[in-house]
Amino acid sequence: MPRLVGSDGGGRCRLRDGVTAGQRGGPAMSLTRRTVLTAAAAAAAAPVIAPAGTAQGAAHAAAPAPAPVAVAGQRLMSGMHARHRFDLRAEPVDLFGRELRLTQSRVHQQVAFDPVTGLAYVTQIISDGRQLADESTPVPGAERDRRGDLCISEVAPDGTVRAAMYL
């Protein structure tokens, strides 16, 4: 099986034998900031599966067996402990106690929580007409959308926006 070794400079993945995925008949994967961030988020969200017979941490040893979940007529085993799930039928909970004023006027895209620090990280598309420090003029929203420019805001548990990072 060919291995991915890098990009051909045009945003296409280059395989070990020098051809791109698109030349081999498969879809060409674009290596933009958005696809890299999406892949990283998917990898972080994927459950870690240990092979049978390997040592597991004490926290995993006490967890009950996964409960079967029916999805489109199939029975799947959910590896997520019940205390980490949430019920979509339950009443909504205001996590920060108030509405947050984020740094961008564009729609909120995603939120992730750091269980160690208690901080939340909110992702938005950068607003139309915003000029960042390394840009000579304001950039139109269509260009930001095309490039996948994002703003990640760090939010404290009390709802205070502590910092913003632009990607």
Q: What is the pLDDT of residues 34-81, one digit of tens each?
A: 666 666 666 665 554 444 444 444 444 444 555 554 445 444 455 556
Q: Is the CB of residue 147 less than 8 Å from the CB of residue 166?
A: no
Query: Is 101 part of a structural domain of the chain?
Result: no
What whole-number distance in Å separates Cα of residue 146 and Cα of residue 19? 26
Q: Give the Å distances, CA to CA, from 140 to 122, 128, 144, 146, 149.
A: 22, 5, 7, 10, 11
pLDDT digit string, tens, across residues 136-164: 999 888 888 888 888 898 988 888 889 98
Query: Is 23 part of a structural domain of the chain?
Result: yes
pLDDT score of 82? 62
Domain extent for 17: 1-31
Query: Is 99 part of a structural domain of the chain?
Result: no
Query: Is 71 part of a structural domain of the chain?
Result: no
The residue with tokens 């840009």 is 135
Query: Is 121 part of a structural domain of the chain?
Result: yes
Query: Is 129 part of a structural domain of the chain?
Result: yes
How many domains are contained in the chain?
A: 2
Query: Is 46 part of a structural domain of the chain?
Result: no
Query: Is 64 part of a structural domain of the chain?
Result: no
